[in-house]
């Protein structure tokens, strides 16, 4: 509309890309260029402040930064690149008028690139294409730009959206250019493009106040902190505000703190106006997608659609005999309940339900990574818990059962093509596209059910000797594909408690891969390794060598143990079957049977044959 007022001194922009295409490094370069943050020697990816983000090298939580360039305040939001955190990207796009679409100058557009671009085009945002990592060997920036243009056409972009500017950049070297033939040594071309091509936010300070809540934080002193963009109006400390809930009901609260962004820090302010991205404290029971409005005229803004969870697993406090012996501080079901309730308050992608067993909680999320990040965070906070195998959430619509399907992309050496295709064929994957890349690898795209992917990542890494790349993105719900083959191998289950003995493990390692090392604590029902024969085997890993006073040349062989597998949370969740659990403590990750004694397991097998356990959503 021609009469819309705009804040010309502000630009709100999100940075979106496939995982590991350099979003956070590019934000570092912009902060350096505008001197909004003073970097220490060796400091990098400053916005990935969470320890788990730094370890994994990916962005998990959206974060805001702000800097000034030519008297214009640029608010930039770093978004996660992994598909499991797609709902974060969708919410962030509601706050901004433009997006920086990052594409790796070597890899080109990847599945998540397509996902995030589709979301931004649907919201009529005009992207700025940033071909990043032009300093990489074998970089092909012009070819990547053409591939991205083809992707825009594939997503039915408008003529206006197809007229996107292209900036070639290296976040690592803090340089950007509009022409690859023109060498430049700063980020000014990108900053100038942002000022020129990103529209100032529509903002009328004279209209009644409206702010859409897109992110939540929590502080022990001030309580819930709601972050969002002010669409209209003004706000100041002490104002009484109306919170318009999703169901239309209205609650009221007093603003006790207003926080604005300067660089990476939040600083207190007395007031704020339309167009700004701010954080507010003092409004209780606020949730993502709700509207904070004027007390006199509480009108809601369009709510944000939150993606439904696709997988679930059961959480419970640790019930193993080793509970409390690994330094855990939170050991009871009450602690687990309180922590999950807090997570639901802050993380809109997580859903928690009570189960019939009382002390177990059904936790649903967008994918394995989404839930494993929650588990890892709880483990580091001192919680001891046990979790079940992940299960997909099925839907029943008009009498037909539907299940989630993923778009899977693998990039491998041609030597491994046959074995990977055979494995995916056994999992009922459907090939969509295959092409050879410039570096001699083969890139293949498949449609495959989410449950068929459980356990595939570790198998894929073994098949490709750790050299394969694998990405997955939620595609849609499709008709249920029927039962799939389960784990082909059995497990070795400890017969007794005690400590693992090298002599016993030496005798067991020929049967399959071992998960423990000599001296590790054991208990009855704990899984100590893989049985290649395909059935579960009860073993005694604490058996010591019999002492005699006789010596012979063959009885005193030197014990040579193969290094055990280093247990990771991702492997554990993919490996276990329905009758098994992952035990998680601050110091260890163990696998165990749900029923610890062999007699209990026999009774269960007789009473209830093994069945697949899925969650259901009826519509």
pLDDT digits (tens, 9 = 90+) for 201-221: 888 888 888 888 888 887 778
Name the pLDDT band for 55 (thresholds 50, 70, 90): low
- Please name the helix (run of DSSP H) or strand (run of DSSP E) that holds residue 397, with its range, or none: strand 391-397
Beta-bridge partners for 312: 364, 391
What's the confidence (pLDDT) of residue 584? 92
Could you read off the pLDDT of 552-592 as tens digits, one per residue?
555 556 778 888 888 888 888 888 888 899 999 998 999 99
In the predicted model, what is the mean pLDDT of the chain? 82
Q: Among the CATH numbers 3.30.70.870, 3.30.70.920, 3.20.20.220, 3.30.70.1150, which is that of 308-389+487-547+554-619?
A: 3.30.70.870
What's the confidence (pLDDT) of residue 583? 93
Q: What torsion, rounded to 10 degrees, do the Cα atoms 179, 21, 87, 243 define?
A: -60
Q: How many helices (H) and strands (E) does the chain have?
A: 15, 34
Q: Where in the chain is the domain with CATH 3.40.50.300?
A: 10-197
Helix (H, G, I), strand (E, B) or coil at 581: strand
What's the confidence (pLDDT) of residue 47? 55
Name the pLDDT band for 493 (thresholds 50, 70, 90): very high
Q: Where in the chain is the domain with CATH 2.40.30.10?
A: 210-294
The mean pLDDT of 265-269, rounded to a whole number, is 84
> Quick check: 280 pLDDT over 80?
yes
> Quick check: 474 pLDDT over 60?
yes
* CATH architecture label of 400-479: 2-Layer Sandwich (3.30)
What's the confidence (pLDDT) of residue 205? 83
Could you read off the pLDDT of 220-249 as tens digits, one per residue?
788 888 888 888 888 888 889 888 888 888
Query: CA separation (Å) from 365 to 8, 112, 392?
Result: 40, 18, 10
Helix (H, G, I), strand (E, B) or coil at 169: strand
Could you read off the pLDDT of 151-186 as tens digits, one per residue?
888 888 888 888 889 999 888 888 888 888 888 888
The residue count of the chain comes to 619
By DSSP bridging, strand 385-387 and strand 400-412 are unpaired
> Quick check: 1 pLDDT over 50?
no
Q: Where in the chain is the domain with CATH 3.30.70.240?
A: 400-479
Statement: 210-294 belongs to CATH 1.20.1050.10: no
Report whether 103 contacts 113 (CB < 8 A).
yes
Pull the structure tokens for residue 547.
């002492």
> Quick check: 53 pLDDT over 80?
no
What's the confidence (pLDDT) of residue 299? 86
pTM of the complete model:
0.79
The mean pLDDT of 82-100, rounded to a whole number, is 74
Phi, psi at residue 369, to the nearest 5°? -65, -40
Pull the structure tokens for residue 326.
């690994």
What's the confidence (pLDDT) of residue 384? 92
What's the confidence (pLDDT) of residue 619? 44
Query: CA separation (Å) from 457 to 19, 73, 98, 376, 460?
Result: 17, 43, 35, 19, 5
Q: Where in the chain is the domain with CATH 3.30.70.870?
A: 308-389+487-547+554-619
Q: Is the model more confident about 395 or about 64?
A: 395
Cα separation, 430 vs 446, in Å, equals 5
Statement: 10-197 belongs to CATH 3.40.50.300: yes
Cα separation, 76 vs 27, in Å, equals 8
Cα separation, 271 vs 239, in Å, equals 10
What's the confidence (pLDDT) of residue 554? 55
Name the pLDDT band for 466 (thresholds 50, 70, 90): confident
Sign of the dihedral through C-alpha 155, 156, 160, 163: positive
């Amino acid at each position: 509309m021609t009469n819309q007022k705009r804040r010309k001194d502000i630009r709100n922009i999100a940075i979106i890309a496939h995982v590991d295409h350099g979003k956070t490094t590019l934000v570092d370069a912009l902060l350096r260029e505008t001197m909004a943050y003073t970097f220490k020697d060796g400091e990098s990816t400053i916005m990935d402040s969470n320890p788990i983000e730094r370890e994994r090298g990916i962005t998990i939580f959206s974060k805001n930064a702000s800097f000034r360039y030519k008297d214009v305040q640029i608010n930039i939001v770093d978004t996660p690149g992994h598909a499991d955190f797609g709902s974060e990207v969708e919410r962030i796009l509601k706050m901004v008028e433009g997006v920086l679409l990052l594409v790796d100058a070597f890899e080109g557009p990847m599945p998540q690139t397509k996902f995030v671009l589709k979301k931004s085009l649907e919201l009529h945002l005009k992207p700025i294409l940033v071909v990043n990592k032009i300093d990489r060997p074998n970089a092909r920036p012009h070819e990547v730009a053409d591939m991205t243009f083809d992707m825009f056409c594939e997503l039915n972009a408008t003529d206006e959206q197809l007229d996107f500017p292209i900036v070639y950049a290296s976040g690592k070297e803090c340089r950007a250019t509009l022409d690859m033939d023109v060498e430049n040594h700063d980020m000014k071309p990108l900053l100038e493009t942002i000022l020129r091509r990103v529209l100032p936010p529509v903002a009328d300070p004279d209209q009644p106040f409206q702010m859409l809540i897109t992110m939540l934080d929590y502080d022990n002193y001030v309580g819930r902190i709601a972050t969002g963009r002010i669409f209209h109006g003004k706000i100041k400390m002490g104002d009484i505000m109306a919170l318009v809930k999703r169901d239309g009901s209205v609650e009221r609260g007093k603003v006790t703190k207003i926080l604005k962004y300067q660089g990476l820090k939040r600083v207190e302010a007395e007031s704020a106006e339309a167009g700004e991205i701010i954080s507010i404290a003092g409004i209780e029971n606020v949730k993502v997608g709700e509207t904070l409005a004027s007390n006199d005229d509480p009108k809601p803004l369009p709510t944000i659609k939150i993606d439904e969870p696709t997988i679930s697993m059961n959480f419970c406090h640790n019930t193993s005999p080793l509970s409390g012996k690994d330094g855990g501080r939170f050991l009871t079901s009450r602690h687990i309940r309180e922590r999950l309730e807090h997570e639901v308050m802050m993380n809109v992608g997580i859903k928690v339900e009570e189960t019939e067993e009382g002390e177990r909680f059904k936790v649903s999320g967008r994918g394995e990574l989404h839930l494993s990040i929650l588990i890892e965070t709880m483990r580091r906070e001192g919680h001891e818990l046990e979790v079940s195998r992940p299960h997909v959430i099925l839907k029943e619509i008009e009498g037909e059962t539907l299940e989630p399907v993923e778009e899977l992309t693998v990039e491998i050496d041609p030597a491994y093509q046959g074995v990977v295709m055979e494995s995916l064929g056994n999992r009922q994957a459907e090939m969509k596209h295959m092409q050879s890349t410039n570096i001699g690898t083969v890139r293949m795209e498949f449609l495959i059910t989410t449950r068929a992917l459980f356990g595939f990542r570790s198998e894929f890494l073994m098949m490709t000797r750790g050299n394969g790349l694998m990405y997955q993105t939620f595609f849609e719900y499709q008709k249920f594909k029927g039962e799939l083959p389960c784990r082909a191998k059995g497990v070795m289950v400890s017969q007794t408690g005690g400590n693992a003995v090298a002599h016993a493990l030496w005798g067991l390692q020929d049967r399959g891969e071992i998960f423990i090392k000599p001296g590790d604590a054991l208990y009855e029902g704990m899984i100590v390794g893989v049985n290649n024969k395909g059935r579960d085997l009860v073993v005694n890993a604490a058996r010591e060598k019999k002492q005699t006073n006789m010596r012979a040349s063959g009885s005193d062989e030197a014990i040579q143990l193969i290094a055990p597998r280093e247990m990771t949370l991702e492997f554990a969740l993919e490996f276990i079957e329905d009758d098994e659990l992952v035990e998680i403590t601050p110091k260890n990750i163990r696998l165990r049977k749900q029923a610890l004694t062999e007699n209990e397991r026999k009774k269960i097998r007789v009473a209830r044959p093994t069945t697949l356990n899925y969650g259901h959503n009826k519509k």
